[in-house]
Amino acid sequence: ALEKKVIKGKVGEKVGLPCCYEIPSSESLQNYRVYWQKNTTDVVLAYAEGKMISTPKNRTEMNKTNLTLWISPVKILDSGPYQCVVQHLRFSQNSVVLCDESVTLFVTADFTEPNITTEVSTDSCELTEMVVRCSSHGGFPKPKISGTLNNMSVVWNASWVSKSSLSPYNVTGTLWLNVTEDVSITCSIENDGFSKSTSLFLKKTNECVVPTVPPSYNVITASTIVIIVFLLAITLAARYLPRHVCSHCCKPQDSGEEDVKDCMKPPLSSKVTSETSSV
């Protein structure tokens, strides 16, 4: 089996599709019939006896020696299988097929530089909830979107938009983040071995002063009761202690030493009093 030939080109470039045969320098195109066709049925251009026998497709031409088909500028719609058929006109009525081989054209288009945007959904002292979007457009084929969050791989929720299978793609990736600290985000768009990346640094800047929580009603009530009880205890102590001490001592008298002595004498018991009265 013949190895399938694939030619890659980018939108806007000039691309050449090689044929399977090259006319020797000793001969000319007049001895040949050459067909370039797409998808085996759609004739791109054709030559017979050195003359063009078909209306060529726009933007196409053929080298008359190596029979290369040139397309310029190439478009995504030009992608697909092409076939080069070469016949040698040895006799006026008979021809010999010298080659019949296909080649596939694969056209790519570069994506724009990824653009990262952010949208804050919830913001507080503790965290910030954000929606991060990475978008790129105008590329082909369908791309892959990848990225990192603080150098750790992250999976984007990706969506693609294209009018058809041979139309440019627009891609958007979405992330939902709870930002509690500074973070670095990288978004990469990859297709057909090519990659473009963009980075964004998000800084957590909220500086919040936590308000003092007022004491509850129960705490205030209990504190008030304790203070009142303490003040009452001090007041009662101030009034009670002097009287208690003076109840065990005599008041100062002006009657002389005898009264003082009498005051210092212990009181007579009731028994002694009764005996004295009987005498």
pLDDT truncated to tens, each residue of the chain (279 aa)? 345 789 999 999 999 999 999 999 989 999 999 999 998 889 999 999 889 998 877 899 999 999 999 999 999 999 999 999 999 987 656 778 899 999 999 999 999 999 999 998 777 776 788 899 999 999 999 999 999 999 999 999 999 999 998 999 999 999 998 888 888 999 999 988 889 999 999 887 666 655 555 555 666 677 778 788 777 778 777 776 655 555 555 555 444 445 444 544 554 444 434 443 443
Report the DSSP beta bridge partners of residue 194. Answer: 191
Torsion of CA 214, 218, 219, 221, to 10 degrees: 110
Integer Cα distance of 228 and 195 in angstroms: 78
Strands (E), the chain: 5-10, 15-17, 32-38, 42-48, 51-52, 60-62, 69-71, 80-88, 96-108, 115-123, 128-139, 144-149, 152-154, 157-161, 169-179, 183-191, 194-202
* Ramachandran assignment for 91, one of left (phi > 0), alpha (psi -120 to 50 degrees), beta (any other): beta
- Name residues whose C-beta falls within 8 Å of residue 176's C-beta, 6 or more positions apart in sequence: 129, 130, 131, 132
Longest alpha-carbon distance in the chain: 188
pLDDT at residue 268, rounded to an integer: 47
Whether this model's pTM surpasses 0.75? no
Q: What structural domains and CATH numbers belong to the chain?
A: 5-108 (2.60.40.10), 115-202 (2.60.40.10)
pLDDT at residue 3, rounded to an integer: 53
Q: For residues 116 and 183, is the Cβ–Cβ distance under 8 A?
A: no
